[in-house]
Amino acid sequence: AAAPPRGDWDPDPDEPEHPFFASDGDAGRSGGQRGRARDDDRDDLAGDEDDAEDGEGGARAGRRGGEKPKKRRGGCACLVVAVVLIGGGGGAAYYGYGLYQDRFGPPPDYAGEGSGTVVVEIPDGSTGIAMGNLLKDKGVVKSVEAFTAAQKANDKGTTLQSGFYTLHKGMSGESAVELMLDPKSRKTLIVPEGYRNGWVYAQIDGRLGLKKGTTADVAKSDWKKLGLPEWADDDKDIKDPLEGFLYPSSYSVSKGQKPADVLRRMVAQANKQYEKIDVVGQAEKLKLDSPLALVTVASMVNAEGKTHDDFRKMAEVIYNRLKPGNTETNGKIQFDSTYNYLTGRSEIKISTKEINSDPDPYNTYYHKGLPPGPIGNPGAEAFAAALNPTKDGWMYFVAVDGKEDTQFAKTLTEFKKLEAQFNASDAGR
């Protein structure tokens, strides 16, 4: 889309004034084992960023005794200065032109409607600047000014409301405003791979304008009516029968719909995908106890793998620890993510005493084998890894930097070396 004419763009009134245009009296405003220490929960996808608005500071310099106040230089005077600079040489001309652009040129902006998908939550009471900051942080627009200028230029720009918007990366300010004004941008809910049901329930509440906890209550009371396959909920200790069945995809969700209908569509999508990859038959090939066990393995792979490159190795770690002859961990999977699921949190550090003493069925440090059910909603890539793990003998893994750098080991001795790297990295943080 075309940028606003240079002479028509009015910077935000709170924007600091360039010292060149200020009066002389104005001052410029200027894992696998306890060494892993990381978890799956990414509950902070849509809506956890802090809003921040630019503040103003600085002080006005006092006049010297006896001096008359100097006249403020206006835009015309600045143009005269720019002309003089042009006459003074190429470098000066470039500098003068740059100052002119700073004041009167269009703000940095992308061109077109962008690509990809980004979900942005606009909190209640957000100003145009606050909205622009959120969009810029998400990579939707190139600058806050591009958004606020487009919002000001649009007749309906001031009608933008709080809520969740599905936008694109690299949008022009004009395109972003137009899409946010389009009801379609507020109807699509994207469930990312690996996210827990708790996050999905909260998103549905927000999209439908319901009281917090409404969708979770519906899921708890009506789960038998939502189309789960017969092999689901095969363990009395499962905390949420729908966990693992709200399949990662995009869904149309808008006010007027019922939570049960939205959940039913998500479960139907999961059934479709699970039939496509033959979860029942593949679970038998992998010698797992049930189809739900395969969904559980995929959910753990999605939870523990911070990068997609290590998914297949993560799957092998699980299968190797499930083998009857496993003497390395004696049948215990020991994943922090399963413990954090049972507590409903995302802890980077969990004390050894705490995790080894909690008898909850989801605690894979305390109990042998898989947890009772899935700990999130795995996506296609996690299933691909669960169906085709590596066969290199991986038994351990450690996020040696406490974040993304996951290293794998085959023996306890190798693991201890990785654990030492993690402890050294942790001490330096």
Report pLDDT digits (tens) over 161-176.
887 788 999 999 999 9
Give pLDDT, residue 426.
Answer: 66
Q: How many CB atoms lie within 10 A of CB 224?
A: 10
Alpha carbon dihedral 282, 288, 291, 296, in 10-degree steps, equals: -110
Give pLDDT, residue 36.
Answer: 44
Least confident of 161-165, 172-176, 177-181, 261-265: 161-165
Q: Higher-confidence residue: 378 or 184?
A: 378
pLDDT digits (tens, 9 = 90+) for 199-242: 999 999 998 989 999 999 999 999 999 999 999 998 999 999 99
Query: Average pLDDT over the chain, rounded to whole?
Result: 80
Give pLDDT, residue 118.
Answer: 85
52 pLDDT exceeds 90?
no
159 pLDDT exceeds 70?
yes
| pTM strictly above 0.85 | no
Short-list 385, 317, 377, CA closest to 341: 377
Q: Which residues are CB-neighbours of 134 under 8 A, at least 6 positions away? A: 49, 51, 120, 121, 122, 126
Averaged over 167-187, what is the pLDDT? 91
- Of the spans 35-39, 59-63, 372-376, which averages the highest pLDDT? 372-376
Least confident of 204-213, 287-296, 347-356: 347-356
Give pLDDT, residue 347.
Answer: 67
Averaged over 2-22, what is the pLDDT? 40
Give pLDDT, residue 352.
Answer: 86
d(CA 183, CA 159): 12
d(CA 42, CA 199): 9
Question: For 115-186, CATH number?
Answer: 3.30.1490.480
Short-list 195, 193, 186, CA closest to 162: 186
Averaged over 14-35, what is the pLDDT? 40
Give pLDDT, residue 250.
Answer: 87
pLDDT band at residue 71 using 50, 70 and 90 as cut-offs: very low
262 pLDDT exceeds 90?
yes
pLDDT digits (tens, 9 = 90+) for 242-256: 999 999 998 988 888
Q: Which residues are CB-neighbours of 226 under 8 A, at least 6 positions away? A: 219, 242, 260, 263, 264, 267
- Of the spans 3-17, 86-100, 183-197, which averages the highest pLDDT? 183-197
- Do strands 115-122 and 163-169 pair parallel, antiparallel, or not at all (unpaired)? antiparallel
59 pLDDT exceeds 50?
no
Distances (CA, A) of 137 to 12, 50, 134, 362: 18, 10, 5, 36
Give pLDDT, residue 50.
Answer: 40
Residue pair 396/374 in contact by the 8 Å Cβ criterion: no
Give pLDDT, residue 305.
Answer: 87
Provide, rounded to the nearest whole percent, the portion of the chain with pLDDT above 90. 57
Give pLDDT, residue 412.
Answer: 92
